[in-house]
């Protein structure tokens, strides 16, 4: 619950916090206050000492519409509204035309308990296939991002992309090369090629469909894997892909998201919200182990995206 109190002098917003139901032996979590425009642009962030108060500089954005103020755990990377909402941050909308710039956040125990961190560790190997041999990749940088679960990604896709997926499942004979992964982004597209922005036809995905040496062409390992995946799809899904509505096919994709995961590697990534949670380096035998903080009260396994680069 939040409330507005007082009308202090000075520019920006004053934010105070009351953590409710603190008990003996509790170690309250560290908190930050964040201010965003209504379009999700970060204006300011401040660490909150105790109950505060802290002053957030809104940078003259008061005349540009409502301001969203959030209180939640510290975020190492550039925070976004999406990443804070995933962490369960408490937020309110401040309208400078009617609200007083002194905001009091009352955060109750079930809400602030979730911000106690626990450690989540991921392990893996990085190999590169040379001929018929998988060789370890040494001294490669492995970045780990937490991403939206596949059902959420599918619901965010525009209709014309759902139609492209329909064609991929029912008509495709070659698979496009994976779209280069842009830098981590929030809900607004970042480093995206003009080609990726203009995709509207199935042929836009294809690199060189008539090239017999094309690594993603007929007979390639990728085609073989995806062909086996498509054969495992329920007949209902294939029938909806051939003749069903966009809405019905979207729901079939959600229901079969696990089976269709390989397909999303050959898919524009600008509809995927990513939040970097860790980074590490592979050993001489290609192994890596990366640990990051995860909410102790979040019982779901995080959905992770890995990006691997190596200087050559």
Q: What is the average per-residue pLDDT within 33-59?
A: 88
Phi, psi of 37 (to 5 degrees): -75, 170
Domain limits, the chain? 2-115, 118-309
Q: Is residue 112 exposed (0-12), middle (13-18) or buried (19+ Cβ within 10 Å)?
A: buried
Q: What is the average per-residue pLDDT within 44-52?
A: 86
Give the per-residue pLDDT at 154: 82
Q: For residues 246 and 167, is the Cβ–Cβ distance under 8 A?
A: no
Please list, in sequence order, all residues whose beta carbon lies within 8 angstroms of the beta carbon of residue 229, skipping any fewer than 6 positions away.
259, 260, 262, 263
Give the per-residue pLDDT at 262: 65
Give the per-residue pLDDT at 101: 82
| Tens digits of residue pLDDT in 160-192 | 878 877 777 776 544 444 445 444 444 433 333
Residue of 6 and 82 predicted with greater confidence: 82
CATH architecture for the domain at 2-115: Sandwich (2.60)
Phi, psi of 194 (to 5 degrees): -60, -35
Give the per-residue pLDDT at 139: 93
188: number of Cβ within 10 Å: 11
Token pair for residue 26? 């509790």
The mean-pLDDT minimum among 37-46, 122-131, 257-266 falls in: 257-266
Token pair for residue 141? 């940088």
Task: Tell me: pLDDT of 143 over 90.
Answer: yes
């Amino acid at each position: 619950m939040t409330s507005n109190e007082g009308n202090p002098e000075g520019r920006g917003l004053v934010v105070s916090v009351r953590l409710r139901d603190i008990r003996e032996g509790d170690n309250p979590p560290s908190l930050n206050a964040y201010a965003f425009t209504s379009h999700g642009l970060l204006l300011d962030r401040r660490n909150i000492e105790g109950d505060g108060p802290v002053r957030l500089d809104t940078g003259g954005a008061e005349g540009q519409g409502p301001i969203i103020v959030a209180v939640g755990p510290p975020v190492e990377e550039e925070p976004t509204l999406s990443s804070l909402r995933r962490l369960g941050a408490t937020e309110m909308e401040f309208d400078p035309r009617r609200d007083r710039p002194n905001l009091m956040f009352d955060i109750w125990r079930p809400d602030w308990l979730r911000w106690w961190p626990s450690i989540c560790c991921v392990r893996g190997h990085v190999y590169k296939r040379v001929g018929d041999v998988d060789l370890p990749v040494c001294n490669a940088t492995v970045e780990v991002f937490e991403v939206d679960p596949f059902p959420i990604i599918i619901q965010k896709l525009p209709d014309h992309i759902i139609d492209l997926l329909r064609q991929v499942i029912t008509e495709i004979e070659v698979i496009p090369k994976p779209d280069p992964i842009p830098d981590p982004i929030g809900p607004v597209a970042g480093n995206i090629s003009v080609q990726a922005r203009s995709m509207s036809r199935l042929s836009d995905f294809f690199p060189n469909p008539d090239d017999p040496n094309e690594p993603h062409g007929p007979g390639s390992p990728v085609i073989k894997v995806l062909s086996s995946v498509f054969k495992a799809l329920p007949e209902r899904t294939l029938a909806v892909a051939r003749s069903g509505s966009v809405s019905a096919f979207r729901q079939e994709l959600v229901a079969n998201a696990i089976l269709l995961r390989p397909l999303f590697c050959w898919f524009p990534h600008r509809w995927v919200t990513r939040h970097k949670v860790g980074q590490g380096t592979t050993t001489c035998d290609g192994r890596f182990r990366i640990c990051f903080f995860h909410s102790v009260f979040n019982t779901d396994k995080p959905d992770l995206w890995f990006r691997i680069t190596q200087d050559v």
